[in-house]
Amino acid sequence: MEEVGETRKIQFTGKSSYIVSLPKQWITELGLKQGDQIRMIRKGSSTLELYPPKFESRTQKKEDATIEIEGEEEASSIVRKLISLYFLGYKTINVKPKNGRLSVPQRNSVKEAVKRMLMGSEIIADSISGITVQVLVNLLELSVDGAFKRMLHLAKSMSSDAILAVKENNLELAQEVINTDDEVDRFGFYIIRQLKIAIQNEHMLKEMGFRNARNCLGYRLIVKNIERTGDHAAFIAKDLIEFKKPVKKEILQKFEEMNEFCLSVLDDACLALFKEDYYQAEKTIVKINQITKFEKKVRDASKSLKDDEEIYRVRRMTENIRRVSEYASDIAEIVLNMNIEKTLKKYD
């Protein structure tokens, strides 16, 4: 965010205190009021820093939220509302019936969503008259970077395991890949929640390690690409469960090579993100163009196929693997946008 400076005169009051006034506009923009506490830190011999109250202490009105559920409301609608409030940073979410009581499917949908999707959340009350969900995780307990790295690791493992499941015709492993997709989504939802909180509060923004609010938007788009990487691994696993047949050995070998390449460029793009390296991102985008060579190898290996079902499966698997390279390219493009200013020549 742009730094704004003001010059104010120090005044003497009482017997041992000095005071300095703050601009009204700053107070208004930060949402402060008379009586709020300001934390002051002395750094070295020449710097004083002022911090407004922690984000949590200034948003007490937003700590609790209540969803009123209609008698016939669909489970999917309830879950969408629950996720939206989780994203907005509410600490306690009450789900109550507008009239009567919650049905068993409605209660089960809330409990399943908390278990599968909302990281750091627990159900602390559950009855026919309502469910209370509490978000217990501390804002800085699991950093955005830490959550993202774990999410990336899971998505990459899903891709490798999906190919291995096809190679071994292992339906159990394929099902495990599908189940892991929920875990990837949980990390994604958690990160989005943190980003929404950060973008509303400059103090939290800096504590989470972001230079500006624009970078939060970049991270949001990157997280979506990692979510989609996991989705395509799950598609490959679902394909195996549906057809219950292995792919021919010579074609599978080409798939393995193609998948390794896609995961390597995804690694390169994310490394550029962590290093905030514009030039690394640029090199990654150029490297991704090599994906066409791997696609050609798959096509050449599958020319002998006659069965329509096999041809369909190979095309679908090729598409699912190739999309990972596209997500890597999207991530690298976002890294370019986030770091372009570092490449500008500075003039005195």
For 200-223, write each residue's pLDDT tens digit: 777 777 777 777 778 888 999 999
CA-to-CA separations, 255 to 164, 250, 297, 321, 332, in angstroms, rounded: 10, 9, 9, 8, 23
Structure tokens at 324: 């990972």
Q: What is the model's pLDDT at position 55?
A: 44
Cross-strand pairs, 125: 132
Query: What's the CA gap between 270 and 319, in Å, rounded?
Result: 22
* Percent over 70 (pLDDT), the chain: 91
Within 8 A by CB and 6+ apart from 103, the residues are: 71
The pLDDT value given to residue 321: 97
Element (H, E) at 84: helix 75-87
pTM of the model: 0.75
Q: Which helix (H) or strand (E) holds 45?
A: none
* Residue 20 confidence (pLDDT): 84
More confident residue, 189 or 25: 189
Q: What is the mean pLDDT of residues 265-283?
A: 95
Given a contact cutoff of 8 angstroms between Cβ atoms, the answer to whether 263 and 193 are in contact is no
Q: Cβ distance 324 to 270 under 8 Å? A: no
Looking at per-residue confidence, does 81 or 211 come out higher? Answer: 81
232 DSSP assignment: H
The Cα angle at residue 25 between residues 21 and 26, in degrees rounded to 5: 65
pLDDT value of position 61: 45
pLDDT of 172 strictly over 50: yes
Range scoring the smallest mean pLDDT among 47-61, 64-78, 153-167, 273-287: 47-61
Cα separation of 79 and 243, whole Å? Answer: 32
Element (H or E) spanning 106, and its range? helix 104-116
Query: Is 50 exceeded by the pLDDT of residue 2?
Result: no
